[in-house]
Amino acid sequence: MRFIDCGVLEYRRALAMQERLATGIAAGNEEETLLLLEHPSVYTIGQGGNLDNLLIPSITIERINRGGDVTWHGPGQVVGYPLINLGRRGRDLHRWLHFLEELILLTLDVFGIKGKCYNNNPGVWARHGKIAFIGVGVRRWVSMHGFCLNVRPDLRQYGQINPCGIPDLPVTSMAREGCLLLSETAVKLELKKNFEQLLHERMPQRPSNS
């Protein structure tokens, strides 16, 4: 298992990196990898997303091969792209979504934030609104895309969209929930530690012939 901190990376470059790694993992030529990074400000929308959820028509948006509707990525938000061979870890997308939610819940708990999840909307909520967003895709049973966790972003960016396709969805951040003296680096380190632990416990790798 490999962890790469990409710093700040433009969205299309990160997508190309995911595609290259996913192809290599499926072929057995690359290690499973978790990319942790921040993006310059960008809006993305999933395959089934509705462009009516852009409240300002002039917004530039990236349409991508993940689930979910429209969301925003940008400074102050930690994004995680796990490239994991689900073909050797149960081939269960629902279980994978729950794994990512548990990862966020555990990480928030370390920083004193109580999160919760709802069955009908992937992601994690805190006291003041949705704090983490999840949207995944797979290629030959290798996971792509993943999660984003609001650490201390400019939450006004969400005012230009209906996040997740939900009008007036309240959105929050770790800073708004009370973690004022917080760095993205500290959050990345905790995500890395928790990811490694949970992957071993919840989704152990099976022999290649099973």
Mean pLDDT per block of 10 residues along the chain (210 residues) reads: 97 97 97 98 88 83 86 96 97 96 98 94 96 95 97 94 88 95 94 97 80
C-alpha 106/C-alpha 37 separation (Å) is: 19
Residue-wise pLDDT for 139-162, tens only, equals 999 999 999 999 999 999 998 898
CATH class of 2-202: alpha beta
Residue-wise pLDDT for 172-186, tens only, equals 999 999 998 889 999
142 among the known binding-site residues? no
Q: What is the DSSP string of 58-89?
A: T--EEE-SSSS-EEEE-TTEEEEEEE-BGGGT
Distance (Å) of CA 206 to CA 1, 21, 210: 14, 20, 7
Is residue 179 annotated as a catalytic residue, yes or no?
no
66 among the known binding-site residues? yes
127 among the known binding-site residues? no
Mean per-residue pLDDT over the chain, rounded: 94
Domains of the chain by residue range = 2-202
92 among the known binding-site residues? no
94 among the known binding-site residues? no
How many residues can be counted in the chain? 210
Q: Please give the model's pTM, rounded to 2 decimal places.
A: 0.93
